[in-house]
Structure 1
Amino acid sequence: MNPELNTTYITLDGLLAVQKYRYVYFFPLLTVYILILCCNLIIVFLICRHKNLHEPIYVFLAALLLNAAFFSTNIYPKLLTCLFQYFLFYSLAGSEYLLLSAMAYDRCVSICRPLHYPTIMKKATVCVLLCLAWIVPACLLGVITLSSNMKICKWILNAIFWNNSHYNLHCESSGAQIILGIFAMVMIALFPVFFILFTYTRILIISYQSGREVRKKLHTHTPPMCLPHLLVLLCFTALGTYDVVFARFDVNSPKIVHLIMTLQVVLYNPLFNPIIYGFKMKEIFKRLKKLFGRT
């Protein structure tokens, strides 16, 4: 018997008329992918090169931008098998939340306990936080991915990559998979979001209780990143919520709406993070101007 007759194919049906508009999809997405890599890696290069940017907050930022570059590389090149793509996508998404949490913690210590900042945010602390940000999501998603062996009854996936929508292809749902998914979502998404909101609430309370000097420190002596940080967090959370609710529970929505929202999930943070932080953080902006020859 020809082994090709037993081969199973799953169609990714998230793109509109992909055969007709394949060049329309290809060239803009290739341009965006190159922009994402260039924008993120340039700022990472500047942080690595200049010693005055080797502070914890810039190290966390470099890790966040590298995470975004890996995040895009997982989606754009058609190189990965389905389950491995699923594992990388949600593992790196979880790392995004944990890195944002580490950055919020750094700002909280800097503002609320400035005298103890050098002893708290030591190089060892930064390394531990970075390792946890990548290892914890990878372990949780690894367990979920390895246990995903349910029988498939549908063969058309309404998505442009292997995401939560693949659960809709299974013949029946698994209680264990649902519990694991909820636990992973709480650990790598909900908990970091609440932690970040708590830290920034504490920063605001202490800054206004301590008077004008601390408020001045908040705006001048630390990178002005509170607002961009919260903006990135809220947008990423809104897009992630769409992915979980609409994809996981197969909520009916127009195909064009689903395509636009999915593209935002994989485009927004990788493309706009380096732009937002590059312009709002003065030291990086100064290095960027020097790099491109502007005085």
Structure 2
Amino acid sequence: MFITIHSLIASVSLTALGSQNTTTHFVTEFVLLGFPGPREMQNFFFSLILVVYLLTLLGNGAIVCAVKWDRQLHTPMYLFLGNFAFLEMWYVSTTIPNMLANILSDTKTISFTGCFLQFYFFFSLGTAECFFLSVMAYDRYLAICRPLHYPSIMTGKFCLILVCVCWVSGFLCHPVSIVLISQLSFCGPNIIDHFVCDPGPLFPLVCIPVPSTELICYTVTSINIFGPFLFILGSYILVLRAVFRVPSGAGRTNTLFIQIFIIPHLSLRLFEIFKQCDIVFFVTLVYSVVTPLLNPLIYSLRNKDMKDALRRVLGLGINQN
């Protein structure tokens, strides 16, 4: 679809420019600069990112298997966590394989269609991730602040609806932005100073400035970031207020995923709406490569139920202490 749209726009634009005796080269592929530095540094980045990628797949895959096969984890909290871990596996796979290939490549090119497909899935999965974080925060809010109403609200049917809403909504938020940007004419240069196809570096490459399209895209991005962030922040404040009233450490354990993962993750995503390239590059690297690795570390190493489930799934047994 993207090839057809782009070819149509390019041919129309070429006809119009030809009538004005003007010759313009239209972009059919982009160059992702990725990580700068000598070959030794490139090899270091490749090895490091490859290890992180494999560990991320292994850790999140273990969570998915534990939630699926251990009946003791068939609760709303772990249902959301299992879907979130599954999402993380796909999320890192939208960028890291291409990133690794580009590090080893001399050309570092990505096709027009491939760029926008990566753009779509990267942002759609990232948005779905924010929605899942919101649902997980809401689940913990109910469990801690409304424990008597929790069983009647978080029913199996309601949980399934929330999971479907997170997945579907994430993929419905960005088609408009994708279509609008893909219909633009890119005259060159075709160099993107990033390791992923991001709208920020793409807009300067268009033939004619399109402030209305930029405004629409950044508005959609801002809503997808600030909406879940404010919702989670509100839940976080209410949960903390309830937790500090609990004398035991049980309540504090339930808020670990908020304190260590959700708030820092969404705080990093806020920088997306700014145009400082260095900040965006670093922040994107953190939440697209590093943060997904933290998910299994937080939930498996600090959660007793998850550790016990992993032992049962792996057939290691459980030591009673």
Does the pair score TM above 0.5?
Answer: yes
**Aligned position for 2:195:** 160
Alpha carbons of structure 1 residues 203 and 25: separation in structure 2 relative to 1, 3 Å: closer
Alpha carbons of structure 1 residues 161 and 33: separation in structure 2 relative to 1, 3 Å: same
CA distance in 1, matches of 2:281, 2:211: 29
* Aligned-pair CA distance for 1:130: 1.1
Partner SS state of residue 266, structure 2: helix
Map 1:80-229 → 2, pairs under 5 A: 81-148=114-181, 149-153=183-187, 154-164=189-199, 165-207=201-243, 212=246, 215-216=247-248, 219-220=249-250, 224-229=253-258
* Aligned-pair CA distance for 1:277: 1.3
**Residue 264 (structure 2) pairs with residue 235 (structure 1):** yes
Letter in 2 for 1:55: T
1:137/1:188 contact within 8 Å kept: no
> TM-score, normalising length from structure 2?
0.77
Deviates most, 101-110 or 198-207: 198-207
Larger-Rg structure: 2
> TM-score, normalising length from structure 1?
0.83
Deviation digits for residues 193-250 of structure 1, max 9, x if unmatched?
Answer: 1111111212233455xx54xx54xx43x682413323212322233233331xxx2x
Q: CA RMSD in A?
A: 2.6
Residue 287 (structure 2) aligned to one of 251, 265, 281:
265
- Is there any run of 5+ residues in structure 1 with no aligned partner, and where? none
CA distance in 2, matches of 1:194, 1:6: 41
* Aligned-pair CA distance for 1:23: 3.6
**Aligned position for 2:55:** 35
1:46/1:284 contact within 8 Å kept: yes
**Aligned position for 1:11:** 31
Give the number of aligned pairs: 277
* Aligned-pair CA distance for 1:21: 5.0
- Is there any run of 5+ residues in structure 2 with no aligned partner, and where? 1-24, 99-109
CA distance in 2, matches of 1:225, 1:237: 19
* Aligned-pair CA distance for 1:31: 2.1
Deviation digits for residues 25-45 of structure 1, max 9, x if unmatched?
Answer: 333322221111101000110
CA distance in 1, matches of 2:116, 2:68: 33
